[in-house]
Structure 1
């Protein structure tokens, strides 16, 4: 308890300075950000370098989510500017199109208008993408009730009783089909269910005037996809955004929770700028870049640190595509309970070479179950690595091992 109080005091002292000491901040965050006083929410938003970079001794690349500068005096101006910009995105891409669609748009514009500049044309073009975003966001962190709860700060322009805006959720409900075909996503998961749920259960909604947290995540992803048409939305992005939004929306300070949506959008955008190659499907098997390159580095690292274990995995023909593909692409967000994911991301975001450390964590995960891999058959080992969360291994043991590997 005394050590934990000392850590809280260290965070408090560093964050109360006019200029944050990056070296101290990185070390503190790497060892875990406390939830108290919104320290994790605040720390994840660093570090945006403007002006004199001399305050960042030995700075090498971005750390954390690159949103706030180390100079505390600049926070207010930057936050106001970014949050205003996000409000503009919502108005331009959701409120205005939603109003036109619900009102029937202009007299000379209609759903069958062949004009490529038709508002309806863009509206329908977005629907396929929106259907996938909606499906993924509804099932975000199913073991956690948080995303099904109503947010305290919904988008008033959309949910207001007098609003004529068709929400993203309503757009999906209007165009969703009752039938469903079997599909397999990039991570090998199918959409087949043992029992098909009724429509009323599939789309259980909050009362009018309320907005669930998953709907906020849906809106962020939709706007991100609209602003990045070359990439659009790719399955798995919801798993990257979810923990970020949860962290900001769970901040105990109301002034931070109120703008969790805007802040999450920009932090997610900054993170995606670093990992966007991972979500480009054409690079899945490229050994030079994208997820293909990361899986190659992962295999090489494991061979270097534990060649006997590496050879056993080769003998079993347990290819990294079977398990490490998801581990690396989703930054381990589906392999551990959310509190553990947040702790892992503290270290990842704080590390100067975060994706090399991610590879070290993945190697550590295999090494802590080394005995099972060496002694069990292929089906047992496959089940183990594809359902790592059920192994109940101490996360601190994995992180400690990852540090040793690094």
Structure 2
């Protein structure tokens, strides 16, 4: 029934013209219903189209979708023709070199991402994004944000075991469509959190400070334990904000998490804070058992989530929602 509801919503958002206020009202209602359905996880079969809709890349009006996709895909490859040759220019050489170094480190244990063909795709996506966003340029960590989109859009053509799929088996046009869609959806995501990656990364600094103050309110024992062990939140939570917990969770869990992030208002920029707080408190017993700086930091940088699945992510999100409900609108949210 869950899959049928999604399929119906994806088809209905919106089949009518946006000429009058009534269809506009229906479009808003269907989009709102799609977000509500997505919050608890999206069926694999409809996740690609749902992510395109939720990210704002795919238009609600069904009649315009193919035209928009064609235009945006052509626009992306127009950028490739226009700019990609400049990767060897002195002005862009350092950016390209850093991307080239980081790509093999992206999910190094997943065979899909070690294929030269896939690494070339990632290099193009990241380089084009970087030169089109000179205020931030490329920053380590952005490379991770391509992977969920790439895997989800690839899953449209692969029934099982996406992580071991040979990309070269797909027709060239399909490969190009996956690449372009990954670029645009990643760009939409980054539009909402770009201050995480501008000079000195002020967005991350602010979010880590907010996490510290939130944890001091919800679990004073953990907060004081960090102080006693002289552990600074920045030492472990910088990565949590920079990579949106992608280095802490298996990729399958990140994809499930992003179902909810895209369904939430400001999911990547605001709700992520509460997910990080819930994630930290999830390990309070282990944290309080570590009595020295080195042991505590090692734990926080290598949390045992390798066997996590949808159930664990669902519980994490439920706790994050509870924290948001309790603290988000409180006048003294970040003040003790």
Q: Same fold (TM over 0.5)?
A: yes
The residue correspondences of 1:225-374 to structure 2 (distance < 5 A) are 225-252=130-157, 258-284=176-202, 290-354=203-267, 355-374=269-288
CA contact (8 A) 2:278 2:320 kept: yes
CA contact (8 A) 2:196 2:204 kept: yes
Structure 2 residue 303 is the aligned partner of structure 1 residue 388: yes
Structure 2 stretches of 5 or more lacking a match? Answer: 15-26, 159-169, 325-336
CA 256–12 in structure 1, closer or farther in 2 if over 3 Å, else same = farther
The residue correspondences of 1:102-113 to structure 2 (distance < 5 A) are none
2:192 aligns to what SS in structure 1? helix
CA 136–367 in structure 1, closer or farther in 2 if over 3 Å, else same = same
CA contact (8 A) 1:302 1:310 kept: yes
2:75 aligns to what SS in structure 1? helix
**Residue number in structure 1 paired with 2:32:** 23
Structure 2 residue 83 is the aligned partner of structure 1 residue 93: yes
Query: Which deviates more from structure 2 when the two are superposed, residues 357-366 or residues 384-393?
Result: 384-393
**Residue number in structure 2 paired with 1:398:** 316
**Residue number in structure 1 paired with 2:291:** 377
Distance across 2 between alignment mates of 1:385 and 1:140: 20
Distance across 2 between alignment mates of 1:303 and 1:257: 47
CA contact (8 A) 1:18 1:72 kept: yes
Q: Offset of 1:83 from its aligned partner?
A: 1.2
CA 146–391 in structure 1, closer or farther in 2 if over 3 Å, else same = closer
Counting matched residue pairs gives: 292
Structure 2 residue 105 is the aligned partner of structure 1 residue 132: no
**Residue number in structure 2 paired with 1:9:** 4
Distance across 1 between alignment mates of 2:317 and 2:122: 29
Q: Offset of 1:258 from its aligned partner?
A: 4.5
TM-score scaled by structure 1?
Answer: 0.67
TM-score scaled by structure 2?
Answer: 0.80
Q: What is the alpha-carbon root mean square deviation over aligned residues?
A: 2.2
CA 312–18 in structure 1, closer or farther in 2 if over 3 Å, else same = closer
**Residue number in structure 1 paired with 2:107:** 141
**Residue number in structure 1 paired with 2:122:** 217
Q: Offset of 1:18 from its aligned partner?
A: 5.0
**Residue number in structure 2 paired with 1:117:** none
CA 13–391 in structure 1, closer or farther in 2 if over 3 Å, else same = closer
1:69 aligns to what SS in structure 2? coil
CA 364–293 in structure 1, closer or farther in 2 if over 3 Å, else same = same
Distance across 2 between alignment mates of 1:369 and 1:360: 15
Q: Offset of 1:388 from its aligned partner?
A: 1.9
CA contact (8 A) 1:140 1:214 kept: no
